[in-house]
Structure 1
Amino acid sequence: MTQTPATPPTPTPPSEPTLTVLYDGACPLCRREIGVYRDLRPVDNGLSVCYADISDASVPVPPGTTRAGLLARFHVQHPDGRLLSGAEAFLMLWSQLPGWRWLATLQRVPGALWVMERGYRGFLRWRPRLQRWASRLDAPPRD
C-alpha cells in the first residue's frame, strides 16, 4: 500500500484585519521588545497583530520599500497598506496592546508625537552601541 505524502494545509487569511509589525530580529534589543509585545493578547477591537522578522531574507517586504530601509527604523503596516514608521508606528502598536494603550493616548497631546519622534531619532543614534551591549547579554558565559 502506497502512502500519499500529506499536503501541508493552506494558510487561511485572517478573519480580521491585521496590523503587521516589521521588526529587526537580528537586533537583540528589538527581539527583547517584540518578545514583550508577543506575550500580550491584543485588545478585542477587530484588529489582530502579527510580527514579521524582516532580518529574515525569506520574509517579503512591502512593495515600494527596501529591507535596509525597514531595518533602520521600527515600522508597522496598517491593514489598509499604510506603512507607519518611528514614533507613529509605536503609538499604533501600543494602541492595540493592554498595558500599553495609555501610551498611545499621548498622541492626543499637542506636540507629543513630535517630541516622541525626536526621542526615537536620538535612540537610533545610540542603537548600535546598545545592540553591542545587549548582544553580550545573549552570549554564552566564558569559562
Structure 2
Amino acid sequence: MADQTWEIKLLYDGDCGICRHEVEFLQKRDGDRHRLAFVNIMEPDYDPAEHGGVSFEAAMERIHAVRSDGTVLKNVEVFRQIYALIGLGWIYAATGWPVIGPVVDWLYGVWAALRLPITGRPSLAAIAAARGGSRCAVGGCEGGRGNGELVGE
C-alpha cells in the first residue's frame, strides 16, 4: 500500500466511552503526522483479515494494535508502543521493568475482564450474538470465540 503512512493501527471498541476518549486524545496528540490509524471494531464491516487476523472477539477481550509490518500487539504493550510513538513513552516506561511490568499486565487483565460490566455493557457473548455471531479469523475460533492466537506470537 503506497499511501500508507501509519506505523501502528489501534483496534478499539467504538461503543466504549473510555475507549473513544483515549482515541480522541491519541488523535490530537498524533495530529497531522498520521503515525497512528484507528479502527472501530464495532463497525459492521470490521474484517479480521484486514487487521492482523484479530477476531472481533479477541479485540473485544483485550486491546490490540497492528504495526505497519503486520506484527500484532496486545495488552499493555499496545500502550507502551503507541505512547512511545507520540512522544509520551515515559508514561508507560516503568511497565516494561521486571517487577512493575508483570503487576501492570495483571492489573490490565483484571480491567479487561471487567471492562464490559463496569461500563454497563452486555457480555461479549451477547454483543457477538447481536452482531450476527462470531467474526473470527480463518482458523482462529474455538466455540464461537476468538482464541487469542495472533500473528507474530
Given the two structures, how large is their TM-score scaled by the length of structure 2? 0.66
- Shift of the alpha carbon at 1:87? 0.8
Superposition pairs of residues 1-143 of structure 1, within 5 angstroms: 13-14=3-4, 16=5, 18-41=7-30, 48-61=35-48, 62-98=51-87, 100-132=88-120
Corresponding residue pairs, total: 119
RMSD (CA atoms):
2.6
Could you tell me which runs of 5 or more consecutive residues in structure 1 were left unpaired when the two chains were aligned.
1-10, 134-143
Inter-partner Cα distance in structure 1 for 2:62 and 2:83: 16
SS across alignment from 2:9: strand
- Shift of the alpha carbon at 1:17? 5.0
- Shift of the alpha carbon at 1:18? 2.0
Q: Which amino acid aligns with 1:97?
A: I
Q: Percent same amino acid among aligned pairs? A: 19
SS across alignment from 1:95: helix
User: Which protein shows a greater Rg?
Assistant: 1
- Shift of the alpha carbon at 1:125? 3.1
Inter-partner Cα distance in structure 1 for 2:8 and 2:92: 15
Given the two structures, how large is their TM-score scaled by the length of structure 1? 0.70
